Amino acid sequence: MSDFFYNSDISQQQAESLVSETLHKCDDGELFLENTKSESLLLDDGKIKNTSFDTSLGFGLRAVIEDKTAFSHSNIISKKSLTDAAQNLKSNIITNEKSNKKQDNPKRTNTKLYEDKNPIETKSFEDKVELLKKIDEYVRKKNPGIKQVTASFSGEHQSIQIIKSDNQIYKDQRPLVRFNVSVMMEKNGKKETGSYGTGGRKDYENFLGNDNWQSICDEAIRQAEVNLDSKPAPAGEMKVVLGPGWPGIILHEAVGHGLEGDFNRKKTSAFHNLVGQKIANENITVVDDGTIASRRGSLTIDDEGTPTSRNVLIEKGILKNFMQDRMNAKLMKVSPTGNGRRENFEYTPMPRMTNTFMINGNNTQDEMIKKVDKGIFAVSFGGGQVDITNGKFVFSCTEAYEIINGKIGSPLKGVTLIGNGPDILTKVSMVGNDMKLDPGVGTCGKGGQWVPVGVGQPSILVDQITVGGTSL
Q: pLDDT tens for residues 370-380?
A: 999 999 999 99
**pLDDT of amino acid 211:** 84
Domain-embedded: residue 126:
yes
Q: Which residue has the higher pLDDT, 244 or 101?
A: 244
Please check whether residues 374 and 416 belong to one and the same domain.
yes
φ and ψ of 448, to 5 deg: 80, 5
Final residue before a domain boundary, out of 211, 230, 249: 230
Examine the domain organization and report whether 196 and 281 are in the same domain.
no
Residues 214, 348 within the same domain? no
Q: Burial, 107: exposed, middle or buried (Cβ in 10 Å; 0-12, 13-18, 19+)?
A: exposed
Question: For 328-340, how does the pLDDT look when each residue is reduced to its tens digit (9 = 90+)?
Answer: 999 999 999 999 9
Categorize the per-residue pLDDT at 96 as very low, low, confident or very high, splitting at 50, 70 and 90: low
In a domain, 441, yes or no: yes
- % residues pLDDT > 90 (the chain): 83
Report if residue 40 sits inside a domain: no
**Judgement on whether residues 199 and 273 belong to the same structural domain of the protein:** no
Task: List Cβ neighbours of 7 (8 Å cut-off, separation of 6 or more).
Answer: none
pLDDT at residue 89, as a whole number: 95
In a domain, 133, yes or no: yes
- pLDDT beyond 50 at 472: no
pLDDT of residue 399: 95
pLDDT above 70 covers what percent of the chain?
97
185 with 288, same domain: the answer is no
181 DSSP β-pair partners: 151, 196
For 273, the 3-state DSSP assignment is coil
**pLDDT for residue 70 is more than 50:** yes
For 222-246, what is the mean pLDDT?
A: 95
Tell me the mean pLDDT in the region 44-68. Answer: 95
For residue 270, name the pLDDT band (cuts at 50, 70, 90): confident
- The DSSP symbol for 404 reads E
Helices (H), 304-438: 326-331, 365-370, 421-426
Q: Is residue 87 part of a domain?
A: no
Quick check: 245 pLDDT over 50? yes
Please, which pLDDT band fits residue 198 given cuts at 50, 70 and 90? very high
Q: Is the pLDDT of residue 471 over 70?
A: no
**Residue predicted with more confidence, 209 or 148:** 148
- Whether the per-residue pLDDT at 395 is higher than 50: the answer is yes
Residue 205: which CATH number? 3.30.2290.10
pLDDT of residue 469: 73
Which pLDDT value is given to residue 219?
Answer: 96
Angle value at C-alpha 335, between 331 and 336, nearest 5 degrees: 90
Pair 128, 191 in one domain: yes
Average pLDDT over residues 59-69: 96
Q: What is the mean pLDDT of residues 287-312?
A: 98
- Burial pattern 301-337, b for ≥16 Cβ within 10 A else e, equals bbbbbbbbbebbbbbebbbbbbbbbbbbbbbeeeebb
Model confidence at 1: pLDDT above 90: no
pLDDT at 364: 98
Q: Cα–Cα distance between 151 and 195 in angstroms, integer?
A: 10
- In this predicted structure, the answer to whether residue 99 has a pLDDT above a threshold of 80 is no
Whether residue 323 sits in one domain with residue 409:
yes
What are the pLDDT digits (tens) for 105-130? Answer: 999 988 999 999 999 998 899 999 99
Indicate whether 270 belongs to any domain.
yes
Q: What are phi and psi of 289, to 5 degrees?
A: -135, 105
Residue 242 lies in a domain: yes
Domain limits at 345?
Answer: 236-468
Q: For the chain, how many residues are written?
A: 472
| Residue 98, pLDDT score | 52
Closest CA to 182 of 142, 136, 228, 145: 136
Amino acid 190: pLDDT: 92
State mean pLDDT over 143-155. 95
CA dihedral for 266, 269, 271, 274, sign (positive or negative)? positive
Decide if pLDDT at 409 tops 60.
Answer: yes
pLDDT on residue 146: 96
Residues 218 and 272 both lie in one domain? no
Q: Where are the beta strands (DSSP E) in 45-167?
A: 47-65, 68-74, 146-163
Q: Residue 173's beta-bridge partner residues?
A: 159
Whether residue 289 is found in the same domain as residue 200? no
Is pLDDT at 97 greater than 80 in this prediction? no
pLDDT for res 325 = 98
Q: How many domains does the chain have?
A: 2
Residues 327, 207 share a domain: no
pLDDT category at 408 given cuts 50, 70, 90 is very high
Residue 432: closest CA among 391, 380, 371: 371
Examine the domain organization and report whether 248 and 209 are in the same domain. Answer: no
pLDDT, residue 208, reads 84
Task: Please give the mean pLDDT across all residues of the chain.
Answer: 93
- Confirm whether 43 is domain-assigned: no
Of 190, 213, 230, the position where a domain reaches its end is 230
Judge whether residue 147 has pLDDT over 50. yes
List strand residue ranges (DSSP E) for 290-424, in order: 310-315, 318-319, 340-341, 350-351, 355-358, 374-387, 392-404, 407-413, 416-420
Residue 157's pLDDT is 98
> Do 207 and 336 sit in the same domain of this protein?
no
Final residue before a domain boundary, out of 192, 209, 230? 230
